Amino acid sequence: MGHEAAGRRTPGLQQATVVALSLGVAVVLGDAGVVTLALPEILRDFGAQVWGVAWVLISFNLVLALVAVPAARLCVRGDPAVATASGVLAFAAATTVCAVASSLGVLIAARAAQAAGGALVIVGSLELLVSATGVERAGVRRWATAGVAGAALGPVIGGLLTAAFSWRAIFVVQIPVVLLALPAAIALRGRVKSRRPTLETSPDRPHLLANLALALLSAALTAALFLLVLLLVDGWSRSPAVAALAVTAVPAAALAAGPVFRSVRAGTRSEAIAGSVLIAGGLTGLALLPRADLIWTIAPQVLIGLGLGLSVDSLTAAALRDRIPRALHGGWTIAARHAGVVVGLAILTPIFTADLRHAQTPAEEAIASLVLDAPLPASTKLDLAEQLGRRLSAEQGRVPDLRPAFTAVRVPAAQAPAVAALQRGLDDQLKRAATRAFRTSFLVAAGLALLALGPALALRDRYRS
């Protein structure tokens, strides 16, 4: 009688459980990059430098990479439902601290705590989703798809929330969403038991080729999910809302990759290779932008999104296929991906900040030349030069916002058109300098994506059922 009642409840409860757990995975993995579009605002709120603010991203990804496998071992030894519920509570508590952080140091520490709790949510949810769907491949696919969707949509959602409210709203919104996974995990308590490896099953070690390819592609994707946003918001002075709409090309293409390519029925190796080439091509396109115009970024982003949706999904499936315990191997894929993000940030951030510094002197010389050539009286030129000099000195190491310099100088109405034309010329000069400063980083990221071809080529070309 009890089993029959459970059976009658299964369809509705199953769907609600799967949705809640998938949302939990998406929120945690989306959190790896959800603050990307908010970084310029965080940078200005706390008066920090780019490298310091980058630790808001690095701390989360570094801790997630380090904790994912130990968290998975806890799930294997105990009840994944208990581990997941504990992770949800820890993640929600740390997210609350992020929302009210009074300093950059507090925010970075809270982000690290978020990652520790989030690791339990991710690896525990893999086992729970397999149990909730009743089919291993369906559960794994749900888990992988939620992760790709979260990673791709995170920066967009974060940008929209930052534009509408503030960067703190990013964390406020996450709390009730991730807490939806709590009753789902509690409902599955005692029903799931991770299987330990035996001599008849696959060994308790990671799929090295698939995880290495995931790490390299994640390092490359850092340029698309981090540096591109900085270029749009900080370099091209676009608002977070406009930048968020512009970068929707990546998640849209990533989510479309499955339906577009699955009909071809390519194997795991073929999909991983194609995804790596698409990502490398898109990053090369971002390095060679002809103008500082949003429309030129769309096609490269579409290539990157298609490559992301195709390769990460395939490589995750390859890393988990026929490997027991699932939670442990899921932990290895998460560790590989987020270690790649940390490596990407560590490699690319110094490159673009150095290039930004090197571009500063030529940009200042070009600005001085434009001011001298402007059809304005000498007194107005001197006033503008003084204000512009202050702005350039105040924002060393960043793309300066020159608008306050023009606001501070009062000019007669007759000179206003010439001053407006000068401001447009200076803005255009800064945008060109910023675009050039990011070029090398995008090319290096494209190289990282091409390096992923090595392990991808060595994979077995297994087909999905």
Report pLDDT digits (tens) over 105-127.
Answer: 899 999 999 999 999 999 988 88
- Note the pLDDT of residue 138: 81
Q: For residue range 254-284, what is the model confidence (pLDDT) as tens digits? A: 888 766 666 655 677 888 899 999 999 999 9
- 3-class SS of residue 100: coil
Look up residue 265 and give its two tokens.
């029925």
pLDDT at 92 over 90: yes
Q: Which of 34-48, 109-123, 193-207, 378-392 has the highest mean pLDDT?
A: 109-123
Q: What is the mean pLDDT of residues 55-71?
A: 90
Residue 119 to residues 102, 213, 344, 432, Cα–Cα distance (Å): 25, 21, 20, 41
Q: Which of 170-179, 221-230, 240-249, 327-336 has the highest mean pLDDT?
A: 170-179
Q: What phi, psi does 33 have (nearest 5°)?
A: -130, 10
- Note the pLDDT of residue 200: 44
Q: Which of 25-34, 350-359, 399-408 has the highest mean pLDDT?
A: 25-34
User: Rounded to whole angstroms, how far apart are CA atoms 184 and 81?
Assistant: 9
Where are the chain's structural domains?
1-196, 356-438
pLDDT at 1 over 50: no
CATH number for region 1-196 = 1.20.1250.20
Percent of the chain with pLDDT over 70: 82
Q: For residue range 338-362, what is the model confidence (pLDDT) as tens digits? A: 899 889 988 888 887 777 676 666 6
- Note the pLDDT of residue 364: 64
Q: Are 300 and 282 in contact (CB under 8 A)?
A: yes
Q: Are 112 and 59 in contact (CB under 8 A)?
A: yes
Q: Are 233 and 243 in contact (CB under 8 A)?
A: yes
Look up residue 143 and give its two tokens.
């888990």
pLDDT at 395 over 80: no
Please list, residue by residue across 290-321, b when 16 or more beta carbons sit within 10 angstroms of its beta carbon and e when fewer do: eebebeebbebbbbbbbbbbbbbbbbbbbbbb
- Note the pLDDT of residue 163: 83
Residue 359 to residues 307, 346, 354, 428, Cα–Cα distance (Å): 31, 21, 9, 14
Nearest by Cα to 286 from 228, 243, 247: 228
Determine the Cα angle at 247 with ends 245 and 252, to 5°.
95
User: Rounded to whole angstroms, how far apart are CA atoms 119 and 327?
Assistant: 11
Amino acid at 350: P
Q: What is the mean pLDDT of residues 190-215?
A: 68
User: Rounded to whole angstroms, how far apart are CA atoms 439 and 288?
Assistant: 7
Q: What is the mean pLDDT of residues 167-196?
A: 83
Q: What is the mean pLDDT of residues 23-43?
A: 84
Q: Which of 128-132, 429-433, 459-463 has the highest mean pLDDT?
A: 128-132
Query: CB under 8 Å to 11, separation ≥6 — which residues?
Result: none
pLDDT at 63 over 70: yes
pLDDT at 391 over 70: no
Lowest mean pLDDT of 382-396, 421-435, 439-453, name the range. 382-396
Q: Are 34 and 188 in contact (CB under 8 A)?
A: no
Band (pLDDT 50/70/90 cuts) for residue 462 is: low
pLDDT at 374 over 60: yes
Q: What is the pTM of this model?
A: 0.78
Look up residue 201 and give its two tokens.
């099953």
Band (pLDDT 50/70/90 cuts) for residue 398 is: low
User: Rounded to whole angstroms, how far apart are CA atoms 250 and 194?
Assistant: 35
The number of angstroms, rounded, from the C-alpha of 433 to the middle of its chain's C-alpha atoms is: 25
User: Rounded to whole angstroms, how far apart are CA atoms 103 and 374?
Assistant: 43
Q: What is the mean pLDDT of residues 49-70?
A: 84
Look up residue 180 and give its two tokens.
């939806």
